Structure 1
Amino acid sequence: MAAKLDDATIRERAQTLTGWTTDGQSLKITRKFKDFLAAMAFVNSLVDPAEAAGHHPDIYISYNRVDITLITHDAGGLTEMDFRMAQTISNL
């Protein structure tokens, strides 16, 4: 199991991510697209990286808006896995 990060590390790491917010327990981002098809294409692009990492984001889709939340449930908060996945998602 991945180790939960301390608050200072979370704050420091969160500053390196553009567009992401944190409440100290999870990372969140909202991405908006031109339409539903573009939003779904983006969501589909998350499948392979998430499977490869063995770390799956919580995803909420509302027409052209995609809300993504990352948390390592087993650790009860944020771990390095969440920050790596956030960076991967940001690069898509």
Structure 2
Amino acid sequence: MAEVLNETEVKKMAAEVPDWQVEGKELKQVMKFKDFVTAMAFVNKLIEPAEAAGHHPDLEISYNKVTISLTSHDAGGLTEKDFAMAKQIDGLK
């Protein structure tokens, strides 16, 4: 199991993913797309990297807006896995 990061480590790693916000024990980003079809196409791109990493984001979809939340549920907070997944997601844009 991955180890929960302390506050200093979270701040350092958060600087590496500036489009994401730390909210308590989660790393979040809200992405807006031109329409529902484009938003869903992006969500479908998340499947392979999430499966490969064994680390699945929580998703909220509202027409052209996708809210992505990352946390390591088994560890009880943010771990390096969350920040690594955030970087992978950023690469899909």
Q: CA deviation at 1:23?
A: 2.3
Q: CA deviation at 1:25?
A: 1.1
1-structure distance, mates of 2:89, 2:23:
19
Aligned pairs, number: 92
Which structure dedicates a bigger proportion of its chain to helix? Answer: 1
| Residue 10 of structure 2 corresponds to residue 6 of structure 1 | no
Identity within the alignment, %: 55
Which consecutive unaligned segments of at least 5 residues does structure 2 have? none
> Which AA in structure 2 matches 1:50?
A
Task: Report the 3-state secondary structure (helix = DSSP H, G, I; strand = E; otherwise coil) of the residue aligned with 1:78.
Answer: coil
TM-score of the pair, normalised by structure 1? 0.97
> Which AA in structure 1 matches 2:19?
G
TM-score of the pair, normalised by structure 2? 0.96
> Any runs of at least 4 consecutive aligned residues in structure 1 with deviations exceeding 2 A, and if so which?
none
2-structure distance, mates of 1:13, 1:24:
15
> Which AA in structure 2 matches 1:46?
L
